[in-house]
Amino acid sequence: MKAHRYRETTIRSYMDGLYSFFRFLTGKPIEEIKAEDVTRFNHDYILRNGYSISTQNQVISALKIFFKLNKLGKLNIEIERPRGEKKLPSVLTEEEVSALFQAISNKKHKTMLVLIFTCGLRRSEVINLKIPDVNSRLQVLEIRDSKGAKDRIIPITDDIIKFLQDYYREFRPRRWLFEGGKAGHPYSASSLQQVFTRAKEKSRINRKATLHTLRHSYTTWHLERGTDTRIIQELLGHASIKTTAKYEHVSRRLLRNLPNPFDNLKL
């Protein structure tokens, strides 16, 4: 999977799924595994233990890739994937987001969450930012090798740049924009999630929300202000290949002139 440039998080997730599957079939040679074994694993392990749809899909994908890349056996998995859930994403109001940020005293923690909300970043994207990825001259944030091995640019305002500069002057990171306790190493994903959870509790936001909710809230902020859906999808970096091809004609001028939720925050 590394040779095929899968991301480390994907590799770990698939390894966990494979470990559960092969432990379930303890002792059975790989060459003898059949589609019926996958069905049995699905019913007797995933469903019986109440695991999520995403876990079920993850294991199926992991098995397909495992047998394809390793060319072991001839497992033909014809198991039907579960129907996708159609839940509305949880979002926070501007007032709740402002309260969340005001509950954070640490400048580094606040800056990381502010970037997630004002740029619609994934958790992995913010912790993998490097110092040169902030292009103050062009007023863009450069996201490199994100989900799907895609690069993209996100416009940032003068106020966001100043906010980042203030953070940089205080913490002086060496390589990664946000470093953990050990200099020269990126901030921990789990620690960032804990930062959000503590801030949520301190700001007394009782509704269900995760770190990813800030990204959803960014999307909603733009939709409510009439930003073209195609531009939003480009900014988020989650479009299909066919859809992404349509975005090549979106000019950088349009991106730079986009309004940003940072302007209305009370920090």
Report, as residue numbers or ranges, the catalytic residues: 122, 147, 212, 215, 238, 247
Residue of 131, 111, 96, 44 lying closest to 207 (CA atoms):
96
- b/e burial code for range 183-197 (CB count within 10 A of at least 16 → b): eeebbeeeebeebbe
Radius of gyration of the chain measured on its C-alpha atoms: 21
Which residues, at least 6 apart from 42, have a Cβ–Cβ distance to it below 8 Å?
Answer: 56, 79
Helical segments of the chain, H only: 8-24, 35-41, 53-70, 94-102, 107-119, 123-127, 158-171, 189-202, 213-224, 229-236, 241-246, 252-256
CB 207 within 8 A of CB 90: yes
CB 90 within 8 A of CB 208: yes
Phi and psi of 208, rounded to 5°? -65, 125
Phi and psi of 154, rounded to 5°? -130, 125
Helix (H) or strand (E) holding 140, with range, is strand 140-143
Helix (H) or strand (E) holding 143, with range, is strand 140-143
